[in-house]
Every structure is written in C-alpha cells, then in structure tokens.
Structure 1
Amino acid sequence: MKHLYIFWLSLLSAGTSIAQSREYLYWVTGNKVEGRIVSVEDEDKVKTMLENGSIFYGGRDKILIAFNKAGSFLVVKDISTDANQAQRQIEAFYKETEAPKNANDILLKAIPREVIACTIKNELESAVNYLTADGNSASINKDNLFAIIRRDGSHEVLRDITEVVDNLSSMSADFHRLREQKKVVEPPKPKPVTPSPKPVIAGPAEPEQKPVLKDKKHLTPEEQRTYKAKSVEKMEELADLLNEIVDKKRSRDEKDEAIKKAVKMFTKEAKVEVSSLNNPNSKTNRPVAEYLDRLSRLNYSNVKITYGEIKFVEEFERDDQNNYWGMTSYSQTFISDNYSDVTPKRQKIKLQRYEKTIDGVTSDHFNVLLGNISVDVKP
C-alpha cells in the first residue's frame, strides 16, 4: 500500500522544481502536487482537493506545506487543531490570491538564516543576481537558499522539503512583513549636469598638488605590537560570540545574529578546519558560516568555549596586494556537562589595507580580519 501511495503521488507530481503561480501541496516524500487544503478534520487529518477535483485525506505528518497562487505558504503543522480557527486560517490563506501584495521577490537564505527582500535581475544555474532594498547589486549561491519566492507567485524549493518546512515555519512572519514592503526599484541614473562657465581670471599658475603615497614595505616594531594586540582582542571577541552561538538558552534569532557578527569578522574566503575526534588526522574544511551554523545546532548543554595561550608564531608580512598576514597559535577548550576537549589551533590574521589622506600625504591603514583556522595536530 505504501508503494502504491508513493507511486500515486509521483504521477500527480509536477515535473520540475520550479512551481508556477498555481496552488501546490508538498508531501513528506518530497513530491509536490497541484491542489489546496480544504479543511482540518481533526488533530491528525487534513482534507485536500487536488487539481482534478478529487478529494484526498492525509495526515499532518504526510502533507507538510501549501503554496497559494500569490506565492505565500502555509505550514500544515502551524494550522490550529481547533476546527473553526483552522478554517479561518485556511480561508484567509487562499484569499491572498484574490488581492496579492507581491511587491518584492523573496530569497530565503539558509546560513545564516535570513529573509531577503529584493528584485531578482537574473538567475543562473547555481546563483541568483539581484538588487537589494537599497538598490545595490548582490549575488547569492542557490546552495545557500531554502527557497525562492518570486513576485509573480512562482516559487522554487532548493533543499530537502522537510528541512525547508522546519525553517519556513519560523521565517513566516519576516516573509510576510518584507514581501509587503515597498517594491525594490533600480535607482535612476543621474543626468549629467553641465556646469555654468566661470570667468577666467589671469594669475600665476600654481603647481598641481597631488597626494603623495607613502609606500610601506614593512611594519615598524611598534606597529607589529599594536596590530598583534588588536588581533588578540579580535580573537577573544570571536570566543565570546562562539559562546553565544552554542548557548542553549538563546533563541534561534539570537544565535543567527551572533553568527552574522562572527562571519563579518572573517575574510570572505576564510575556512575553518575541523578534525574527527576518533581520527585527528582526518580533517575537513568548512566555510565559516557553515561551521558556525553547525556549531549552533550541537546537542550539548552548558557549553563553554575558551581561548588560551594565544601567541604569534609568524610576524605580519606584506603580500602582493599590500595587505599583511600573520599567524597565531592558541588552544581552544570545549567544556560541556559530559564532555571536554582541548584542541591546539592556528589562526591566520589579515591586515586589510585601505588608504587615508592627511595634509596631502596618502598612507596605508589597516582593518584586522580573521583568516583560516586550522587544527594544529602534532606528529
């Protein structure tokens, strides 16, 4: 019977992951069919009507989420178990089709979790290019999205449906708030203005003053000490954020905010190396955001993470982009109720160069960013 049920869903299922602006239901199997929720019969049973007019009853554990023609979604587990209240929810949901307020395209970002209101410019096989609410150009990889909901009512689910539903349930409020905001528009290009001619007054020509770039190949000993101290402060700040991220008492939103702050402390290309507890020589590199998201979902309670013995093992040296790189070593202590671990690690530090002009002299200044973190396994 189970195989017949899955086969039947497969026949009804749409043939592409991109759903047009029609009414859809998603099953726990991952199949999607055209249809709508009619009512909730009891705490466990949902009545649906499929595109061909047939009625189908399914459990709340079988039917996961519905999409209406406007692109809005209704997570089945969020429907009230009270029949009257549930009916009001369902009717209000499908009324959205009659008066859609689809101002923005919506990107449902996975790591860190975020609802992005935007105007999609174009979609590639692996990425989406879009304009932000401020009119700035941006891009995101599709593998970091739960779903795309377009302003024409179509949608695309990009991850396993059970994972998508679990996250969309908590993102629903932000989705509705941001989708109904003022439409994102591309800022108009300014028209060139021809300045009025100024009267020419004869006089001695002054030599053109050009900023003088003060080239710097090495940091002074004092600068080395200053930026080393700033680097240690940055690492200790990261340790504080890690404790917020693993804190079971904090909400998902608080953890996501801590993840955002931590990600901004790193270079864009930074990776975190992790090793197996049973095989320290088996290592995997993860993007910072992914590593932090995994950390936030650990099942340990009362976790405490500390950094100790931070010291520089490589001085800051300039690269071909006029940035500087150094290296620290430190020990990371992980303590929970029933587990503890001390891992020696190494942290790359980048001094990101920017120019500042004072009194006609342009000199280099630096922002401290964190780079790759590696496990320092001793032979």
Structure 2
Amino acid sequence: MKKRYTIILFLLTTLTTQAQETLYWANGSSFPFKLVEATESIVKVGEMKGDRIVKRSVPKENVLVAFNAKGNYLLVSDLSADPAQASLQIQNFYASHGPQNDLLLQANPLKVIECTISYKSENVVNYITPQGVTGSINRNELALIIFKSGDHEFVLSPADAAPVLKDASAQVQKAISQPAKKTAATEIRAAVIKTPATAVLEPSHTVEKPAEVVASAIPQKNGLSKEELGTYSQKGIKKVDEFVQYLNIISDKSIDPDKKDEAIEQALKLFLADATIEVSSANRQGKRKYPVKDYLTRLKLLPYGSTNISWNEVNYVNDLTQASDGNYYGTITGSQTFTGYGANSQDVMYSDVTRKSVKVKLQSYKKSVEGQQTTNWDILLGNVGISVNQ
C-alpha cells in the first residue's frame, strides 16, 4: 500500500505544471516549449536558449495540447491546415487571458465548474462557487484542473484527457471571457477559508491551541469592538465551511477509513462539547438529534456509493451579541443539499434540501505564555438544528 501511495504522489507531482508555456506530447512527455508555426502535418515548436528561440519541427500528430502561462489551452488538432491561419491562431492563443476562477473539468458527465478551490488532495477536491455554494467532487471524476494563478494539473493522462478538453473547450472559453461574478458573501468566505484537509493529514499544523487555558469563559465588561466582532463573525462562517468540507471527506467511500476517522476528530474540534445535530429524512417522519460524534460516525457508514453535501446562502440571522456571562452568541443559517448516489456514483438514490441553523458561541479564555497572561477569544459551533425541509 505504501508503495502504491508513493507512485500516486509522484504522478500527481509530474502532472502539475507551474504557470508557464508547456507542450504535451502524445507519448506523455511535456516540455516548456511554445508553438511557433503549423502546417497540415508539421508543427514548429520553440525553445528558449538564452535570448533566442531555437525552432524544431515535429509531426503534428505527436503534439496534443499547448498551455500558455495564464492557464488557457489550445489543442494542436484544432490548428488550421493553412499556415497563415494557424499562425494567427497561435498568436491569439499566447496573447489570450486565463480564467479568473479556478476551473474543474469534469469528465463524465462533461461539466466545467467555476469555483475557488478550498481543499485538494489525491482523493477529493472541495470548492466554493462564485454564487457561494460549497461543493465537493472526487478527483477520479476530473480530467483537468486549471487554477486562476495560471497553473494547471492533469488528473487523467494528457492523452486520455485530450477528448475531454476538446469537448469542454467552448465552456472553458466562455468561463475565461465571461467569468461568473462572485457575490460579496463569497468574497468574504473565500478570503477567510483555510483547508481542513491539512488538519486531516497534519493536524498539528492547523489547529491552534492555547499554551495554557486558565479559564474557559471570562466575563468582559467592555466587550469587543465592532471590527473585532466582524472578524470573529467571519471566522464563524469559515468554521461552517470547514464543517461541510469534513462532511464530504467523512462520507467519501474512496478515502481511507483512517483518514476519515482523523476528519471526524478534527470536525469535533469545531464544536462545543455538548453540541448536537438534528436530522430528518424524506423517508421517515419526525426529527432526531444526535451528539456530533454519533452523527459523524453514522454519516461515515451510510450505504451510498458516493455522496455530495453542499451548503449555500450561509449567513448570520442573529448577529453575535454579548450575553450576561460575557460571551457572545449568534445564529448562522444555510441551505444544505444532500445527495446520495448508487454504486456507479451517477444514479441518485436519495436527495433532500434542508434549511439548517447553527448556534455559535464566541467565548474568551486566558492564555499564559512565558508568564504573561492575555485574554483571547475562540468561536465554536453549537447545536445544529433544522429550520425547514424544502
């Protein structure tokens, strides 16, 4: 198993390319070359040697696809047989812009997802769309990832991905020329979100703990400023986003069970110790409440081939307000879409949309570092309830 895992990581590394001109050959090789000219049967590629370009002639059928430094791509098979027309295509291609959003090219069914990637591993990619919808997709459903930085990453081999790139070309060009606009809420969430995946793999690098907690709740007479409350409110939204991403990791059948158990442990750290999660089902009347750990364990054992859990319209309905105990309390709501698929990961076996409410608590604690005590704050999620089934 270790040997296979190493091979997978190696392949991922070799197929991830920095933002630069790159050509991919049909045999799987890639080179930092540029297209220069093309005829019906030959393409000339250019390699920088110092301050000059060295041109080489290559059979057209040997070259699959070119990427420019901004993330756009051009299939060599789409070049005109007329040299003058091909030169114009090449010139326009290298002058073209890349995407303003990250792009996920789904192979089957064909789909181009505009988004901001919040977490990416060898198993899954979690993202937020410009409309503020959180989502997750298995890597094995993707052919290519194009990052707004100009980098790109093949998930399939370039040869296997080429037909997908051809079919998706129109959608990709539309996403580049007419990018979906981000809502204000999405901008805030994308700015503060941090991937919980790192916590799953290396929890010590992402979970900050006070060196010494002296008191879990210290009444504050003066309270926090408006700016500070705004910052902590954003952190509350971020923790809901992290929770949704953990849900997709825990419910993903393709992820190693040990990694899912680690995700459960990390998700628990987002919540108050006595928090519960309320659930309902279209197949069963009434609502039921479970401690968070029990809920997550049940989620891991669901019998679906794959699942997708997304939240949108995530906002505060009750802003953080200081109570008599000195802590702050608020409520976040969001619309959760749950979809369970069959063994082929395509047939929908179950789906529902539920309006959820999440209680949040901003509590203070004292941290002692080198003999000095300072007051710090941490926001935690509380009970998750059902507002309405849609």
TM-score w.r.t. structure 2 length?
A: 0.46
Larger-gyration structure (1/2) = 1
Q: Greater helix percent: which structure?
A: 2
Q: Structure with the greater relative contact order (CA < 8 A, sep ≥ 6): 1 or 2? A: 2
TM-score w.r.t. structure 1 length?
A: 0.47
